[in-house]
Chain A
């Protein structure tokens, strides 16, 4: 019962967000000083041709009608046509989305792998040398420009050492595995093609590590703060009063409870990574949505930018819903409250 109410609220929120995002992106795209019809037709096209294209795109209609048409298309899953690639935006995004998601997931995995222990150490050694070092690392991560770190990684590991490729998703000449999940790592394994798997892995390491490093700070800060809260709780004192060792108390009692409130942050971080990948993808020529959207922005391809913004916001809200559901599984107290 309570669950249905929650679901209804969430779906309503989802619609509101999509509506709002479309309104914002629509407004922005009509701020452009340039004329999209002229952009499509090219500089030398006759005025008549430009007018024709304008009419065809509906750009001669009043703004509210244009927006109405846009929303109507949106509801049917039509995000419009990219001016730059001249293909439906949804198709473009679908083609680029798995690459971005694969990068974001691996980056998140790396960030959690390092960030959680860092946050735990930071909290346990609160205000001591280890804490200061861990916090410095976290702040450095947050303060590092990803594009610059990526370049540095390319210079070192590709340029000087030659250990890893300098960009792309696969080496020249290799054919991507047939699409099942869209993740090269998984698809190549499913196809049993280990050459392909290791090649994809090699290409993934630098961008994922770069993206992971700039995300690490967010995670370790969250874990630190949640752990400090938990370590101050009475049940920790009880566990210690009954002779459980320090690390048993920390890892078996405090950490699981600190992870519960952190799930929100971890989930939303994945959402942030999807668009945070924009710069990293550009640097590593990673064929994902980020690189696509940067090119679209640079060529004032607003249908593509709007489509991207709407898609990411949509995923963001979906993630929120997923997190709500996850809470019911991992926190035994939730059921009781309702």
Chain B
């Protein structure tokens, strides 16, 4: 039931960072897509390639630091990998916006909030400064900020973390983008603030029909927030599906491991599980399944790399594991 025009379509994408005598293979055949208005989660540990995917989608990785070895990435039917800088300047912030993890450092510390918002609004919408100012105030008010005038006059360090992230969200929606990439948007915030910010984000996205790609390491966040989810490990998708299905019936041992780390998923009295071992070195990936050495179900066949295959012929529901599907869960 894949929609004909996804806002973001990544197909078999591989990317490496050249390094001394080798290269760090950060992405190894990632395929994912985001449909209009949909909220999609990408979950994984650090080193899974989820942030690289997000950054590359906006072409924000430092040019010349990386090499694409296969695949394609298109956003709103435009090939992002070959788009000239001129086009990128129009796409970024207008068609697709991005929110980052650390709201403290994501804003310029020595410029007032107002200046930073106006810069973006004027750049994309070509309106007068006073119109842009009015627009910024309206955007902040939409974020349930009580005194927007005062916030505009503030420097980032004068605001709380939650307030800064609201400013970022307001900025992200300033041009009503079709896609919003949120890279760990609430990781740095207090738990109570996290929830407020997320609800605000979802409310605004539903209202404007904006699709969200949520990058996170937190399964709980995905379960509350996302329509669909991709689980990534060592630069590849290992499982995908509707959030409810993945949560209730995880197919890949790695997904199971992530889920068993959640307090909600464990019976009272049972210990919280963590996945033993570490993410393998990305410059020396094993030829077989990259999760095998941490996997409790490892078998001889795992010396071959499993491919992502549809489960019960459902193209939305896939897993990359050799285990017969019955034995899982």
Q: Are B102 and A257 in contact (CB-based, < 8 A)?
A: no
Q: Are A241 and B98 in contact (CB-based, < 8 A)?
A: yes
- Assess A235 versus B109: contact at CB under 8 Å? Given A241-B60, A242-B120: yes
* Cα of A243 to Cα of B88 in the assembled complex, Å: 7
Q: Are A243 and B109 in contact (CB-based, < 8 A)?
A: no
The interface residues of chain A lying within 8 Å CB-to-CB of B90 are: 243
Produce 1/0 per residue, A239-263, CB < 8 A to B: 1111111101000110011001000
Q: B68 interface residue, CB < 8 Å from A?
A: no
10 contacts between A and B (CB under 8 A): A233-B105, A234-B100, A234-B106, A239-B119, A240-B92, A243-B88, A243-B90, A244-B93, A244-B119, A248-B119
- Assess A242 versus B92: contact at CB under 8 Å? Given A235-B107, A257-B108, A331-B110: yes
Residue of A nearest to B155 (CB): A332
Expressed in whole angstroms, the minimum distance between the Cβ of A13 and any Cβ of chain B is: 28
Residue of B nearest to A242 (CB): B93
* Cα of A240 to Cα of B124 in the assembled complex, Å: 13
Expressed in whole angstroms, the minimum distance between the Cβ of B79 and any Cβ of chain A is: 18
List 14 extra interface pairs beyond A233-B105, A239-B119, A243-B120, CB under 8 A: A234-B106, A237-B100, A237-B106, A241-B93, A242-B93, A242-B119, A243-B93, A244-B93, A244-B123, A252-B119, A253-B108, A253-B111, A257-B108, A336-B157
Expressed in whole angstroms, the minimum distance between the Cβ of A21 and any Cβ of chain B is: 36
Chain B residues 169 to 221 lying within 8 A of chain A, measured CB to CB, are: 171
* Cα of A241 to Cα of B179 in the assembled complex, Å: 13
The interface residues of chain A lying within 8 Å CB-to-CB of B107 are: 235, 238
* Cα of A256 to Cα of B109 in the assembled complex, Å: 11
* Cα of A336 to Cα of B90 in the assembled complex, Å: 36
Which residues of A are in contact with B by a Cβ distance under 8 Å? 233-235, 237-246, 248, 252-253, 256-257, 260, 331-333, 336
Expressed in whole angstroms, the minimum distance between the Cβ of A125 and any Cβ of chain B is: 11
Q: Are A246 and B85 in contact (CB-based, < 8 A)?
A: yes
* Cα of A333 to Cα of B60 in the assembled complex, Å: 28
Q: Are B106 and A243 in contact (CB-based, < 8 A)?
A: no
The residue that A244 contacts in the complex, of B60, B98, B110, B120, with Cβ under 8 A, is: B120
The interface residues of chain A lying within 8 Å CB-to-CB of B282 are: none
The interface residues of chain B lying within 8 Å CB-to-CB of A253 are: 108, 111
Which residues of B are in contact with A by a Cβ distance under 8 Å? 58, 60, 85, 88-94, 97-98, 100, 102, 105-111, 119-120, 123-124, 155, 157-158, 168, 171
Q: Are B92 and A235 in contact (CB-based, < 8 A)?
A: no
The interface residues of chain B lying within 8 Å CB-to-CB of A248 are: 119
Expressed in whole angstroms, the minimum distance between the Cβ of A29 and any Cβ of chain B is: 48
How many contacts between A and B, using CB within 8 angstroms? 74
Q: Are A336 and B105 in contact (CB-based, < 8 A)?
A: no
Q: Are B123 and A243 in contact (CB-based, < 8 A)?
A: yes
- Assess A234 versus B92: contact at CB under 8 Å? Given A241-B98, A242-B171, A332-B110: no
Expressed in whole angstroms, the minimum distance between the Cβ of A158 and any Cβ of chain B is: 46
The interface residues of chain A lying within 8 Å CB-to-CB of B110 are: 256-257, 260, 331-333
* Cα of A238 to Cα of B158 in the assembled complex, Å: 19
Of listed B88, B91, B93, residue having the most chain A CB within 10 A: B93
Top 8 closest A-B pairs, CB basis?
A: A242-B93, A243-B93, A243-B92, A234-B105, A241-B98, A235-B108, A242-B120, A238-B106
Expressed in whole angstroms, the minimum distance between the Cβ of A327 and any Cβ of chain B is: 12
Residue of A nearest to B124 (CB): A243
Residue of A nearest to B86 (CB): A245
Residue of A nearest to B96 (CB): A241
Q: Are B109 and A237 in contact (CB-based, < 8 A)?
A: no
The interface residues of chain B lying within 8 Å CB-to-CB of A237 are: 60, 100, 106
Expressed in whole angstroms, the minimum distance between the Cβ of B85 and any Cβ of chain A is: 7
* Cα of A303 to Cα of B58 in the assembled complex, Å: 67
The interface residues of chain B lying within 8 Å CB-to-CB of A336 are: 157-158
Residue of B nearest to A253 (CB): B108
Expressed in whole angstroms, the minimum distance between the Cβ of B141 and any Cβ of chain A is: 20
The residue that A241 contacts in the complex, of B92, B102, B109, B158, with Cβ under 8 A, is: B92
The interface residues of chain B lying within 8 Å CB-to-CB of A243 are: 88-94, 120, 123-124
Expressed in whole angstroms, the minimum distance between the Cβ of B215 and any Cβ of chain A is: 13
Q: Are A235 and B60 in contact (CB-based, < 8 A)?
A: no
* Cα of A315 to Cα of B111 in the assembled complex, Å: 33
Residue of B nearest to A236 (CB): B108
* Cα of A318 to Cα of B92 in the assembled complex, Å: 48
* Cα of A234 to Cα of B88 in the assembled complex, Å: 19
Expressed in whole angstroms, the minimum distance between the Cβ of A139 and any Cβ of chain B is: 24
Residue of B nearest to A256 (CB): B110
The interface residues of chain B lying within 8 Å CB-to-CB of A245 are: 89
Q: Are A235 and B105 in contact (CB-based, < 8 A)?
A: yes
Residue of B nearest to A233 (CB): B105
The interface residues of chain B lying within 8 Å CB-to-CB of A256 are: 110
The residue that B106 contacts in the complex, of A235, A244, A246, A331, with Cβ under 8 A, is: A235
Expressed in whole angstroms, the minimum distance between the Cβ of A56 and any Cβ of chain B is: 60
The interface residues of chain B lying within 8 Å CB-to-CB of A239 are: 108, 119
Expressed in whole angstroms, the minimum distance between the Cβ of B83 and any Cβ of chain A is: 13
The interface residues of chain A lying within 8 Å CB-to-CB of B171 are: 242
Of listed A233, A240, A242, residue having the most chain B CB within 10 A: A242
Expressed in whole angstroms, the minimum distance between the Cβ of A256 and any Cβ of chain B is: 6
Expressed in whole angstroms, the minimum distance between the Cβ of A332 and any Cβ of chain B is: 5
- Assess A333 versus B97: contact at CB under 8 Å? Given A243-B91, A244-B119, A244-B120: no
Expressed in whole angstroms, the minimum distance between the Cβ of A74 and any Cβ of chain B is: 42
* Cα of A243 to Cα of B108 in the assembled complex, Å: 15
Residue of A nearest to B98 (CB): A241
Residue of A nearest to B92 (CB): A243
* Cα of A239 to Cα of B115 in the assembled complex, Å: 12
- Assess A241 versus B119: contact at CB under 8 Å? Given A253-B108, A333-B110, A333-B157: no
